[in-house]
Amino acid sequence: MNKVINLKEKWDYLVNKLTIDFSEGDELNVDGILYLIGVQELGQGHRDFKKDEKMNLMHIAICKLLEPYGYYEFDFFDEDSWPHYKIITELPNLKPGEQTVLMKDAIVSYFEALDFFS
Sequence spans of domains, the chain: 7-113
Tell me what pLDDT residue 100 has: 92
Tell me what pLDDT residue 1 has: 45
Cα–Cα distance, 87 to 22 (Å, whole number):
31
Tell me what pLDDT residue 73 has: 97
Cα–Cα distance, 64 to 107 (Å, whole number):
10
- What is the total residue count of the chain? 118
DSSP state of 23: -
Tell me what pLDDT residue 45 has: 85
pLDDT by residue for the chain (118 residues), tens digit each? Answer: 455 578 899 999 999 999 999 998 899 999 999 999 999 999 998 889 999 999 999 999 999 999 999 999 999 999 999 999 999 999 999 998 999 999 999 999 999 999 998 8
Cα–Cα distance, 45 to 61 (Å, whole number):
15
